[in-house]
Chains A and B, each alone.
Chain A
Amino acid sequence: MRKRHTPKDRLITVALHVALAAGLFFAAFPIYWMLSSSFKSNTEIFALPPTILPKAFTLEAYAAILGDPVKLRFFFNSYFVAGTVTVLTVLIALLAAYGFSRFNFRGKGSLNTLIISTQTIPPITLLIPFFGLVVSYGIFDTYVALILTYLVFTLPYAILLMTGYLNTLPRDLDEAVAVDGGTSWTALWRVIVPISLPGIVATSVYTFLLCWNEFLFALTLTKSTSMRTVPIGIQLLMGQHAFEWNQMMAMSVLGSLPLLLIYLVAQRYFLAGMTAGSVK
C-alpha cells in the first residue's frame, strides 16, 4: 500500500488537483462562455472587464430564435432528416450485420474490408458527383437529396457497430429457432431484435449524431432557406447579423441540446458509438 501522509505525497495530490482544475478550465470555459453569453444582452457580451455571470440576465436571444418561424424550420429540418436517416440506417444496417454475424459466405472478408474502408472516404470527394447526380435527377434542394447522401455515410459505421454487437450474442438462441424449423428471418425478428435493443440504441444515437452534425452536403445540396438545417442556419445567422452574438449563442445552445441530452441520459450508448471506430 502506498503511504499517504508524507509531505511529498501530499504535495503531489495538491498538484494533481491544481492540474485537474486547469484542465477543467480548458475544457469547459468555452462552453460556459457560450451559455452565459446566450443569456446576456449584446452589449454585455463585450463589456470590459468581462462579466462571468450575466449581470442583466435576459432571455431575449432565445425569444428571438424561438419566435422566428424561419429558425424553427431549421430545427424541424434537422430533426426530420436526422430522424428519417436514423430509422433507415438502423434497419438496413441490422440486416447487413445479421448477415455478417450469423453466416459464413464467400467474399465475407473482402466485403468487411470494403465497409471498414468506406468509413474513411472524404465527403468532399463525393460532393461533386453527388451534386451532379442530385441536379440531374431533379432532387436538388429536397429532403430526399439529404437523406440519400447522409445514408451513405452513416451505413458503414452502423453496420460495424451492429455487427460488433450481434457478435457478442450467443448463437444458441437463434440456432434453437432453426431446430424448431424456423427460418433465419424468423430468428432475426423473434429472437435477435428483442435482445439487441442496447446495440440498436447505441447505433441510433451515433447515426443521429452524424446526421445532426453534417454540414458540407447540407450546404451544397440545398439552397432555399426553408430547406436548411441547423448548422447552415447558424452560418446564415452569422452572415445576416454579424453582431447579434447573443442570438448566435442561443441558437448554438439550442442546436447542441439534443446531443447533450442524449449524452446525459444515455452516456454508455453514446460512448459506445463514438469509440466504435477505434475499437473495431
Chain B
Amino acid sequence: MTRQKRSHHKLKRAVAPYLYLSPSLLIIGLLMLLPMATVIAYSFQNSAVLRRDPTFAGLKHYQAIFDDPVFWASLWHTLYFTCMSVIFHMTIGMVFALMLNSDRINPTLRNILRVLYILPWLFTAVIIAVIWRLLLEPNGVVNSILMQIGIIGSKIEWFSSPETALHAVTFANIWAGYPLFMVSLLAGLQGIPKDFYEAADIDGAKAYQKLIFITIPQLMPIIISISLLDFIWTMQVFPLIWITTGGGPIYSTEVLSTYTYKLAFSSYNLSQASASAVVILLISLGLTLFYIRYQKAR
C-alpha cells in the first residue's frame, strides 16, 4: 500500500464506528433524550402540550404533587408492591432453582419441570391480569377452593375490597416474575465449581452449611444485579394494575405510573403529570446509576 492509501484507510477506520452507530444514536437522541428534555420542560410550564404558548410555572406543579396525599399513597403502594415482588421473586426463584439443581431428581423430570416452572414468564402482563381476575373472581375457583378447605368463611372480593386489593395485585406479580431469578440462578448454580462442594464434604459440612457458605456467596453477584434490575422494572408496573384494579378501589392500589397516567389522560393535567413523570424518572435514574456502578465494580 502507498502511504496515501494507508492514511486514507486509517481515516476510514476512524470514521467507520461513528457511521455504524449513527442510526442508533439518531433514534436514541431524537426519540429518547430529546423527549426526556421535553418532559422536564413541560413540568415547568402551565398547560403544557395543550397550549401553543405555555407560560412558565416554576415549581408549582411539583408543589401540587407533593401536596397531594394520593401521590404519597401511590409512592407507598409502589414501594410495597416493588419490595414484596423482588423479595418473593428472589426467594421463590432461589428455592425452585435449588430444587431443580438437586441430583435427587431424574434428569427427564428436571427438564420437564424446568419448562413448566418458567411458564408464568411467557405471558403478557395484560393476560396475567385477566387470568388472575378470573381466578380471584368472588365466584371464582380460588374462593371456592379456599372455602371448601375451610380457610375462609365467605367469598372475598380480592380485587375490589380496599383491604385485599394491593396484596392481590402484588401476589399476581410475584407469580408472574419469579422465573427471571430462577433461570439466572440456575445458570449460576451450574457455574459453581464442583470441587468447592467436594472439599466441604471432606470437611464433613452439612447441607445447610454448604448452602450458606458456598452456594449463596457464589450466587451473590447474580442476586444483587437481578434484584436491582427487577426493582427498576417492577417499579414501572402499569398494565397489571390498570387491568386488575385500575388503581382502585378508592386509590388503594394506585401506583406512581397509574397516578401519572390518570393525571395526564383522565384529568388532562399534562403539566402536573409531567412533574410526576420527572419524579419517576429521577428515582429510576438514581437506581440505574447504582446498578451501573455495581456492574462496573464487578
A residues within 8 Å of B by Cβ? 12-13, 16-17, 19-20, 23-24, 26-28, 30-31, 33-34, 37, 45-46, 48-50, 92-93, 95-96, 98-100, 102-103, 105, 108, 111, 113-118, 120-133, 135, 148-149, 151-152, 155-156, 159, 183-184, 212-213, 215-216, 219-220, 230-231, 234-235, 238, 245, 248-249, 252, 255-256, 259-260, 263, 267, 271, 274-275, 277-280
Contact = CB atoms under 8 A, between A and B. Distances in A.
A212 B124 contact: yes
Nearest to B257: A124
Interface of B: 12-14, 16-21, 23-25, 27-28, 31-32, 34-36, 38-39, 42, 48-49, 95-96, 99, 102, 104-105, 109, 113, 115-127, 130-135, 137, 139-141, 144-145, 148, 175, 180, 183-184, 187, 222, 225-226, 229, 232-233, 235-236, 238-239, 242-243, 256-257, 260-261, 264-265, 270, 273-274, 277-278, 280-281, 284-285, 287-289, 291-292, 295
Contact of B131 (A34, A105, A118): A34
B124 A213 contact: yes
Contacts of A19: 95, 99
B166 to A, nearest CB: 19
Given A23-B96, A128-B270, A260 B116 contact: no
Nearest to A136: B49
Contacts of B274: 128
Contact of A130 (B35, B121, B135, B242): B35
A117 B277 contact: no
Contacts of B225: 278
B243 A152 contact: no
Nearest to B201: A2
A215 B229 contact: no
25 contacts: A19-B99, A20-B113, A23-B117, A27-B116, A34-B127, A98-B20, A99-B21, A100-B21, A105-B17, A111-B21, A113-B292, A123-B236, A125-B278, A125-B281, A132-B38, A152-B27, A152-B28, A184-B16, A213-B124, A231-B127, A255-B124, A263-B122, A274-B180, A278-B225, A280-B295
A234 B125 CA distance: 11
Contacts of B289: 117
A20 to B, nearest CB: 6
B139 A46 contact: yes
A114 B28 contact: yes
B157 to A, nearest CB: 15
Contacts of B131: 30-31, 33-34, 249, 252
Contacts of A127: 261, 264, 277
B253 to A, nearest CB: 16
B99 to A, nearest CB: 6
Given A17-B105, A128-B270, A234-B126, A24 B116 contact: yes
